[in-house]
Amino acid sequence: MTSMCPSCGATLDPSALSCPSCHRLVHAQELEALSEQAKVAERAGDWAAARDAWAKALSLLPAGTVQHRTIGARIEAIEARLREAPSAADQGAGSSAWGKRFARLGPLGVVLWKLKAIALFGLAKGKLLLLGLTKLSTFTSMLASMALYWSWYGWRFALGFVVSIYVHEMGHVAELRKFGIAATSPMFIPGLGAFVRLKQRPGNAYQDARIGLAGPVWGLGAAVVAWLTGVLGGSHLWLAIARAGVWINLFNLIPVWQLDGGRGFSALTRHQRGVVLGITLFMWFLTRETMLLLVAMGAGYRLFTNDYPSQPDRGALVEFAGLILLLSGLLLLVANGQWPASNG
């Protein structure tokens, strides 16, 4: 029985592992879940469970891809470790035993198991953020940027703003790891932001768009956290950090050059670019935010370039349009009646 690709609408063969048109991985969500499961098992020292999870993931990847080779090498390394320490294989029983205990609880057990998975997923993302700070180039350039912003706005705002930029950049890093693409750790440029340099090109426009838009997605999350902290804590400072976070992520969505929006537009057809342009102009009318007008101008320019794909990428369209709507909505919350009365 055939199915349709959720990104481009192409017909998929039942045995297909990737879309023949946009190259989207058919089992992307299951692969991400298996990857997190394997990494959690590795951190717990349960190498047998990690090997099994990676093996399942390997069977869902097209042969010859970067991801397939990367995971294959990982499995070989784990098997070598297991041969050196056979007792590690026995540790998988504990994990499956817990799974059986949750299963005996019926629907409640399923919910508890899902909550456990969500908590582990959150811990994995948190670990990734902390891991990035262990890179000397990232940490030192981050301090240099903070020193500059400190001299302009004070250390509290400088810290919040630099962390917002860092979270944005780690969104790119997370997506690059998902596709198995080598890249540097984030590097800050005082007064100009930060960047991640790719050591190899994405395989196609689908990957390029997801890598580009991952930064604003994570950046949106950081801005929401700052806004909630400001509202709940009665702090103008945190609301200002949220506002700055919205601004920097909207700036990155301008679809030109090597900005994130430019990468996102690489997967959009002319019609889809027109949809983004319309949404952006509508949100500019509501907010009067100049940065939205710049995004609209970039989108208008890209309507008449000949770099658009022949097949539409609905996922990239939803992600790009959703970012415009959510960032603009957050901007309205910060600006219109959501400022606490007390000083922050």
Contacts of 187 (CB under 8 A, 6+ apart): 137, 138, 141, 194, 195, 196, 197
Question: What would the pLDDT profile of 225-244 be if each residue is shown by its tens digit?
Answer: 999 999 888 888 999 999 99
To the nearest whole number, what is the mean pLDDT of the chain? 82
Same domain, 151 and 123: no
| Residue 182 or 169, more confident | 169
**Domain co-membership, 18 together with 151:** no
- In angstroms and rounded to an integer, the radius of gyration of the C-alpha atoms of the chain is 22
Strand partners for 188: 194
Task: Write down the pLDDT at residue 337.
Answer: 42
- Indicate if 321 and 240 belong to the same structural domain: yes
| pLDDT: which is higher, 6 or 100 | 6
Same structural domain, 228 and 275: yes
Do 168 and 300 belong together in one domain?
Answer: yes
List the one residue out of 212, 264, 220, 228 whose CA is nearest residue 246: 220
Distances (CA, A) of 209 to 263, 268, 285: 5, 9, 27
Distances (CA, A) of 38 to 45, 66, 71, 83, 120: 10, 18, 11, 18, 11
List pLDDT tens digits, range 29-59. 778 878 878 887 787 778 888 888 888 888 8
Number of domains in the chain: 2
Same domain for 86 and 139?
no
The answer to whether position 274 is within a domain reads yes
Q: Give the amino acid at 47.
A: W
- The pLDDT assigned to 89 comes to 41
Nearest to residue 253, comparing CAs of 276, 287, 285, 269? 276
Whether 341 is in a domain gets the answer no
Q: 51 and 15, same structural domain?
A: yes
Residues 58 and 68 sit within 8 Å (Cβ to Cβ)? yes
Eight-state DSSP code of residue 184: P
- The answer, yes or no, to whether residue 341 has pLDDT greater than 50, is no
* Helix pair angle (66-84, 47-59), 10° resolution: 150
Quote the CA–CA distance of 102 and 95 in Å, as a whole number: 11
Q: What is the rounded average pLDDT of the residues 14-24?
A: 78
pLDDT on residue 226: 94
Stronger pLDDT, 288 or 13, i.e. the higher one: 288
Is the confidence at residue 251, as pLDDT, over 90?
yes
Mean pLDDT of 265-270: 94
Q: What is the mean pLDDT of residues 244-270?
A: 94
Structural domain includes residue 264: yes
* Residue 90: predicted pLDDT: 46
Residues 6+ apart with CB under 8 A from 86: none
DSSP state, residue 187: E
User: Burial of 6 by CB count in 10 Å (0-12 exposed, 13-18 middle, 19+ buried)?
Assistant: middle
Range of the domain at 116: 1-132
125-149: per-residue pLDDT in tens?
Answer: 555 566 666 678 888 999 999 999 9
pLDDT of residue 292: 96
The rounded distance, in Å, linking the Cα atoms of 110 and 240 is: 41
* pLDDT tens readout for residues 270-325: 999 999 999 999 999 999 999 999 999 999 999 999 888 888 889 999 999 999 99
Whole-number Å distance between alpha carbons of 226 and 244: 10
- Give tens-digit pLDDT for 149-181: 999 999 999 999 999 999 999 999 988 888 888
Between the CA of residue 79 and those of 3, 86, 120, 127, 166, what are the distances in Å? 36, 10, 24, 25, 35
pLDDT at position 163: 94
